[in-house]
Amino acid sequence: MEGSIPPMPWDKQFDVDEALDRAKDIFWEHGYGATSMEMLLKAMRINRGSFYDTFKSKRDVMIRTLRRYSADDRASVIRAVAAGKSPREAITAVFRGMIDGSRGSQGRHGCFLVNSALEVAPQDEEASQIVREGLRDVERFFAELIRAGQEKGEFPKQLDPTEMGRTLMNQMVGLMVLVRSKAPKSVQESVVNQVSTFLA
């Protein structure tokens, strides 16, 4: 159209959420430190001008992807695995799903939240806060299942839901580290067996 001004090369001409999802995948596969700017730009499918027009830095992208994963992806996956099952079955299914899911393309890289907790959070307070919030959500999720199971008679009344929620969260983190380190399946399975013992 005559008189119109063509967009400048650095104008934002991409879907930010899609770009963040792609960034998450590259961070997930290679880790934050090993992901170069060139790798990140290629994965996000944007040029350097568009990147700096939208994001402050590689760290800014990491924080955004971590927050997005913690708030949406992680919670939806766990709840989807547990849906339609009794409380005891749901808890077992969550742990079993981690082992079975490790055979997938992303599963073999472990949990994005836990990976970030190990690599990024110790040096970055904002990342550490996101990780802590995510893990507290996991605690509350398990505590809700314990309470529901007690009402149904599946779990002993003497179990403290809050403490058991924290215990199960710790077991889950341990299992995810084992998955990430490619520990033998028998070692991973032992975590599931321990969980069953805790709930007896």
Give the start-to-end residue ranges of the domains of the chain. 67-198
User: Mind listing the pLDDT tens digit for each residue in 49-96?
Assistant: 999 999 999 999 999 999 998 877 777 778 888 889 999 999 999 999
Distance in angstroms between the alpha carbons of the first and the last residue of the chain: 73
pLDDT band at 199 (very low <50, low <70, confident <90, very high): confident
Query: Across all residues in the chain, what is the average pLDDT?
Result: 87
pLDDT class of 1 with cuts at 50, 70, 90: very low
Residue with tokens 């998450």: 24
Q: What is the mean pLDDT of residues 138-158?
A: 95
Separation between Cα atoms, residue 25 and residue 22, nearest integer Å: 5
Q: What is the mean pLDDT of residues 108-136?
A: 87
Q: Using CB atoms within 10 A of its CB, is residue 169 exposed (0-12), middle (13-18) or buried (19+)?
A: buried
Q: What angle do the packed helices 125-151 and 112-119 form, to 10 degrees?
A: 140
* pLDDT score recorded for residue 186: 92
Is the whole model's pTM more than 0.85, yes or no? Answer: no
Among the CATH numbers 1.10.287.70, 1.10.357.10, 3.40.50.720, 1.20.200.10, which is that of 67-198? 1.10.357.10
40 CB contacts (<8 Å, ≥6 apart)? 23, 26, 51, 58, 61
5: left (phi over 0), alpha (psi -120 to 50) or beta: beta
Q: What is the pLDDT of residues 19-45, one digit of tens each?
A: 999 999 999 999 999 999 999 999 999
* 151 or 7, greater pLDDT: 151
